[in-house]
Amino acid sequence: MELPGLGQRCAERTCRRLDFLPLKCDACEEVFCKDHIRYDDHKCSSAYKKNVQVPVCPLCNAPIPVQKGEIPDVVVGAHMDKDCKYNPAQQKQRIFTNKCLKPGCKRKEMMKVVCEQCGGNFCIKHRHPLDHDCKGSSRPTSKA
């Protein structure tokens, strides 16, 4: 027994499936089944309104504006030749540059961790005076 008042038929000419959970295309405003809702699946004539892609420069990661009718590859290539702010030296900057001064430790930290007693730079593991055999001030160090 079919319920004629429920659901809608897919607008794709080759499908026309009765769908009880139809989907409305946000570009052309027609109703489709789950198999034909994508712009390419129903050859949407209004897809250009919604399907906008902005290419990104592979060197500087900046979005490149493309005018209607232009080929994105050509526009990105022109950007790379003229306007690209890519700096190869900037890519090689290291983040972890603060080396631990504890003998035998090779760890590096992003930020300096300076001991208040001896003024040395240490990693997180050796930051406490007892952990790096601090020779700084003669104040007693707590075990806390």
Per-position DSSP letters for the chain, written without gaps between them: ---TTSSEE-S-TTT--EESS-EE-TTT--EE-TTS-STTTTT-TTHHHH-----B-TTT--B----TT--HHHHHHHHHHTT----HHHHT--S--EE--STT---EESS--B-TTT--B--STT-STTTTT--S-SSPPP--
**Would you state the pLDDT for residue 114?**
92
**Would you state the pLDDT for residue 92?**
60
CA 6 to chain centroid: 43
Domains of the chain with CATH codes = 1-51 (4.10.1110.10), 53-86 (no CATH), 93-137 (4.10.1110.10)
Return the structure tokens found at 94: 């290291």
Q: How many residues does the chain have?
A: 144
pLDDT by residue for the chain (144 residues), tens digit each? 566 678 899 999 999 998 888 899 998 999 999 999 998 899 988 887 776 778 998 888 889 988 877 888 899 999 988 888 876 655 566 677 889 999 999 999 888 899 989 999 999 999 999 898 888 765 555 555
pTM as predicted: 0.39
The CA distance from 53 to 76, in Å, is: 13
Tokens 């994508």 sit on residue:
38
Contact yes or no for 60/79 (Cβ under 8 A): no
